[in-house]
Chain A
Amino acid sequence: MSRTARIALGFLGLLVMGVLLLPPFLPDPLQIDPGDVAAGPSPSHWLGTDELGRDLLARLLVGARTTLAIATLAALISSGGGALLGLWAGYQGGHFDRAVLRLLDLVSAVPRLPLMLLLASTSTGSPFLRVAVAMAAFAWISEARIARAQTRVVLSEDYLSAARQLGYSPLRIAMRHVLPNLSGPLSVAATLSLGELILYETVLSFLGLGIPPPAPSWGAMLAQGISGLSRAPLLVVAPGALIFLTIAAIQRVGDELALALDPRTRNR
């Protein structure tokens, strides 16, 4: 594993540990304090406070929890759905396969963000699910494409015709013999999707269509910080840096995973 990939993994580990372990020891992220507004770092507020006197570090970590949880949920929905659709299309072949392929081409030619914003503004149910579904609705393309292509490859293998001649049901063949062979490329695609979904979650909340305030989220913190950019730059720099580092780290891990799973590079 390369050094940058190790650093990336270390950063993500630290972030997850911070998100899970630190908040109980920090001030309440929703506690407003009019007497201590936009203050610098101090013993009681390690990174200082925001424009309403709320603890910045606590808001960053609790915001990270929201972002990561929504993005993970969306990644599970979209990767699972996309993989199953691709597997089904590749296995079935024929007209259905061609129709799915056409659908993939069409959906990937549409700019996601405006439609995602519309979708995120529709339902009145749980905001958590609303944002996750809006993001997942357009994120399944790459997984479906990969699952479909890989299924076509696996279908031509000898062990698959052996499984057919043993009289196994198509469902059993698809789930037990094809799906495990997709896990490598799919895990790479899902990792890269996760990075993209984290980006889109911060974009949605930046544009005011994520989790509603006062719950903290990185994108909304970035948007709120703009007005005080020259007075309290940390309010923009901290969430901005975290968004950038998290996305870069996940991309790096995904690239490294792709290298490690590629048989051509295994012995290097």
Chain B
Amino acid sequence: MGSSSFALRVLIRRALSGLALFLALGLGLFYLLATMPASGEARRRLEDPTLSPAEFDRIRTLYGLDRSVPERLRCWLLGRAAPDCPYARTERGILGGELGVSEVHRSSVPALLRERLPPTLALVLPALVLALLAGIGLGALAAIRGGAVAQLIRGLGAVLVAVPSHVLGLSAIAVFSLWARVLPPGGFGPGPTPDLGHLVLPVMVLSLHFLGRYLRFVETGLQAALQDEHLWAARARGLSEGRVVWVHGLPMVLLPLLPLIAQTLPTLFSGALLVERIFDFPGMGLLIHESILFGDLEVALVLALIYAALTMFASGLADLGHLWLDPRARREETT
């Protein structure tokens, strides 16, 4: 069996089971959300105290709140085109490919995605790269030098892993924006996409926790790897210690780093939501949070599922990379 057909089979299996999970999550959450009395725009209109009972009933009918949950689910999926669904928000429904219209922003979900997805990627990708580079560098340094340097780096790792993003984010704003006044406390700057100055703090705050985790992983892995027999053989051949570590030791640690990246990506995307809120950074996370706070739960649900799919896709890529590079992992996956 070739490795490419194998990768394809893994990919198909994952995509199918991922689809099943999304179906279950989507239907389950929609059911829970629909059992709420009212939310979002409907709730705001119903809360008007001057409303007459007849108008109250009219608004409830307008938003489909007098229908049963399964009926509303059907109309959410099929849209106004389906019989008996005048209250559905879109013409063709989710199954017809219409993902909904946001009550908060008065624009369609695809348009919002085009606007909000790029900033989130501009936040998450640099944070991941930064955490990886610094984590590998510091972890390797600790493993090579040992002693006080290693102690210091290990302590730093423990602190970084434990410090929560909201605490770290507020501290960063306090120090760099209010006290030193060198970086903006949030937002985007003038343009439609974030400029460098507005990216520095969010990227740093998001990356530090993961820097701590990668650092720990590289340090312990490299320490064990440095005692490996083939490295002693390399030393016996007279190679310098630097060459032994960087050329022969480090690659042994980098391969198992791939599944760790796949594992930590969901947390990274979760963290991005929080960081976007702290820095008022208009990406996907802030959009989901705004929609939930406003009560536009139908759109928040669709957005959260798209966000989850994106995360699964990214960590699937890291896993596939690992399967492709490491034949041992391939054997495990088949059993």
A residues with a Cβ closer than 8 A to B are 102-103, 106-115, 117-119, 121-124, 199, 202-203, 206-209, 219, 222, 225-226, 229-230, 233, 236, 240-241, 243-244, 247-248, 251-252
Q: Is there contact, CB below 8 Å, between A240 and B171?
A: yes
Q: How far in angstroms is the closest Cβ of chain B from A200?
A: 9
Q: A142 vs B314: C-alpha distance in the bound complex, in angstroms?
A: 21
Q: Are A202 and B29 in contact (CB under 8 A)?
A: no
Q: Which residues of B contact A123 (CB under 8 A)?
A: 32, 35-36
Spell out B's residues near A (CB within 8 Å).
Answer: 17-18, 21, 25, 29, 32-33, 35-37, 158-159, 161-164, 166-167, 170-171, 173-174, 178, 262-263, 265-267, 269-271, 273-274, 277, 285, 288-289, 292-293, 295, 297, 300-301, 303-304, 307-308, 311-312, 315-316
Q: Are B37 and A203 in contact (CB under 8 A)?
A: no
Listed A/B pairs (19) with beta-carbon separation below 8 Å: A109-B262, A109-B265, A109-B311, A110-B311, A111-B307, A111-B311, A112-B267, A113-B270, A114-B270, A114-B288, A117-B273, A121-B295, A123-B32, A124-B37, A229-B178, A236-B174, A240-B170, A243-B167, A248-B159
With beta carbons under 8 angstroms apart, the residue of A109, A121, A208 that contacts B266 is: A109
Contact status A118-B297, CB under 8 Å: yes
- Beta-carbon contact of A117 and B292 below 8 Å: yes
Partner of A244, one of B25, B167, B263: B167
* In-complex Cβ contact of A121 among B35, B274, B297 (8 A): B297
> Are A111 and B166 also in contact (CB < 8 A) when A106-B21, A118-B33 are?
no
How far is B173's CA from A229's CA once the two chains are assembled, in angstroms? 9
Residues of B within 8 A of A243 (CB): 164, 166-167
A residues near B285, Cβ cutoff 8 Å? 113-114
* B159, closest chain A residue (CB): A248
Query: Which residues of B are found within 8 Å of A206, using beta-carbon distances?
Result: 166, 274, 277
Complex: chain A residue closest to B295, CB-CB: A121
Q: Are A240 and B289 in contact (CB under 8 A)?
A: no
CA distance A251 to B216 in the complex (A): 14
Contact B170 A203 (CB under 8 A): no
Residues from chain B with a CB closer than 8 A to the CB of A244 are: 162-164, 167
> Which A residues are in CB contact (< 8 Å) with B17?
102, 106
Give the secondary structure class of A's interface: helix
Question: Could you say which residues of chain A place their CB within 8 Å of the CB of B164?
Answer: 199, 202-203, 243-244, 247
Q: A106-B17, A222-B166, A244-B162 are in contact. Are A124 and B308 (CB under 8 A)?
A: no
The answer to whether B178 and A230 have CB atoms under 8 Å apart is yes
Q: Are A207 and B274 in contact (CB under 8 A)?
A: yes
10 A-B pairs closest in CB distance: A248-B162, A113-B270, A114-B304, A111-B269, A240-B167, A111-B270, A106-B21, A122-B32, A111-B266, A110-B308
Q: Which residues of B contact A225 (CB under 8 A)?
A: 170
Instruction: Give the nearest-CB partner of B29 in chain A.
Output: A118
Whether A106 pairs with B308 at a CB distance below 8 angstroms is: no
With both beta carbons as reference points, the residue of chain B lying nearest to A223 in the complex is identified as: B166
Q: Which of B32, B277, B304, B312 sits near A207, CB closer than 8 Å?
A: B277
Q: Check A108 against B170 for contact (C-beta < 8 Å).
A: no
List 7 other contacts, CB 8 Å, given A106-B18, A110-B21, A247-B162: A106-B312, A113-B285, A114-B288, A123-B36, A203-B164, A244-B167, A252-B158
Q: How far is the CB of B40 from the nearest CB of chain A, in Å?
A: 11
Within the complex, what minimum Cβ distance (angstroms) separates B12 from chain A?
14
Select from chain B the residue with minimum beta-carbon distance to A247: B162
Given the complex of chains A and B, what is the CA–CA distance between A202 and B17 in angstroms? Answer: 32
Q: Chain A residues near B274 (CB, 8 Å)?
A: 113, 203, 206-207
Q: With A111-B266, A229-B170 given, is the CB distance from A118 to B304 under 8 Å?
A: yes
Cross-chain contact B21 with A117 (CB below 8 angstroms): no
Q: How far is the CB of A101 from chain B (nearest CB, A)?
A: 11
